[in-house]
Chains A and B, each alone.
Chain A
Amino acid sequence: MQASRARLFKEYKEVQREKTADPDIQLACDDSNIFKWTALIKGPSETPYEGGVFQLAFAVPEQYPLQPPQVRFLTKIFHPNVHFKTGEICLDILKNAWSPAWTLQSVCRAIIALMAHPEPDSPLNCDSGNLLRSGDIRGFQSMAKMYTRLAAMPKKG
């Protein structure tokens, strides 16, 4: 508990210091609870998520950093490795490939990389995975783009 708090505080200071280092990620800690964080990440360019801003919720366990944080998309996203209803993410570093060498910030980077490079063979969203696996890139992209417009872009007028 003490160790996780100390580590998170270091990450918090690092985030404050490097605020402008990565313009695609805005990571913020809950005002009253250092175990709760949220992040805003920009959809990577040349993907159907381009132009969208996606919100992530982090729940950090007491055994952090020996145990990975739990991360979910709060913004609806159509992606093979993200559960359409719960926002749960299928990413190895959030499960058995986790190590304390990762940080909340680098997890965000890994999630952005996952958005650009979906793994349709381990789908949490089967509809999305099936489109990609059957080679219907256009179908996948238009669905993903539609949800990006609907859920991840500020409403116009």
Chain B
Amino acid sequence: MQNKDGPQADGELEAATSNPTPDFDDWAKFGDDDIMQQQTAIRAEEAEKAPFVGDKEPLSSLAAEYQSGSPILLEKIKVLGEKYAAIRRTRGDGNCFFRSFMFSYLEHILESQDRAEVDRAKSNVEQCRKTLQSLGYADFTFEDFFALFLEQLESVLQGNGTSISQEELLLRSRDQSISDYVVMFFRFVTSGEIRKRSEFFEPFIMGLTNATVEQFCKSSVEPMGEESDHVHITALSDALGVPIRVVYLDRSSCDSAGVSVNHHDFIPAVGGLPNASGSTETVSPFITLLYRPGHYDILYSK
């Protein structure tokens, strides 16, 4: 049985030894707020170790990480090296999937200057806005996040007054006031999609947790720092109409000779694609993420 007497009693003891006239109220305030403060401090410490979005590194840096580790992983990284050239790491703060998606998507637009894709994405974003409204979300709770994402989307297209460079994109992705807002935008979009198609997502969610769709969205999608699973990825990919490839790097192996690296392509449901040309030709995702249990980074093809 746990209650809060234990830690409080300890706190009193400490206060009494360090302060000859302990003020009861001082340590009585010790509680969740302090824990939150400590959490913030830990996050700040993590932040110094790794930016939200790192620099592009050659794949060899991944191998270096496992130098004295599992031979299966080293073997798999070698296989990865046949297809992929580089990795870009993201901070492991529970937002890594959304953050990786954000950078990868915006970088793709910046490099391809694919205006048609931007227009298509924008119309999907408008659809997401309507979804949230019809689910009863007050506009003011999400509109700032939508506006900030659309602003980023517009700015990676060259030729308008607000165009930005690759360096600027990286700076913005590392700037908490922009980066976290875009992550939150994706969380709103993901939550809206899951709730809109709750009968589709329900069995997957039941398999993951034990929660209802509503509870799942409230506790595992909308709060910042909650990690993503295939449910989130499916929903985001469907909602925005953007295919995503996830390459899995784990220790699983089949006993037959030679290792292979599994991947899974999340291809948006056609029903969710207003502009789908009706074709079922193989869509090849331009976003590739590397999944290691508990974390997503960005992968670059050769």
Using a CB–CB cutoff of 8 Å, the interface residues on chain A facing chain B are: 3, 6-7, 10-11, 14, 65-66, 70, 83, 85-86, 88, 90, 92, 94-103, 123-124, 126, 129-130
Contacts and interface: CB of A to CB of B under 8 A. Distances in A.
Contact of B184 (A86, A90, A100, A129): A100
Size range of the interface on B?
Answer: 20 to 34
Contacts of A100: 141-142, 145, 184, 222
Interface string B131-154: 000000110111011000000000
Given A85-B28, A124-B31, A99 B223 contact: yes
Interface of B: 3-5, 25, 28-29, 31-33, 36, 137-138, 140-142, 144-145, 177, 180-181, 184, 187-188, 191, 218-219, 222-225
A126 B3 contact: yes
Nearest to B24: A85
B224 to A, nearest CB: 6
A86 to B, nearest CB: 6
15 contacts: A7-B140, A66-B224, A86-B28, A95-B32, A95-B36, A96-B223, A99-B184, A99-B224, A100-B141, A100-B222, A101-B137, A103-B138, A103-B140, A123-B4, A126-B4
Contacts of B188: 101
Nearest to A91: B32
Contacts of A97: 218-219, 223
- The SS class assigned to the A binding surface is loop
Nearest to B39: A96
A99 B142 contact: no
- Pick the 10 closest A-B CB pairs, nearest first: A99-B222, A10-B140, A99-B223, A126-B3, A85-B28, A101-B141, A101-B222, A97-B223, A88-B31, A97-B219
A11 B32 contact: no
Contacts of A3: 144, 177, 181
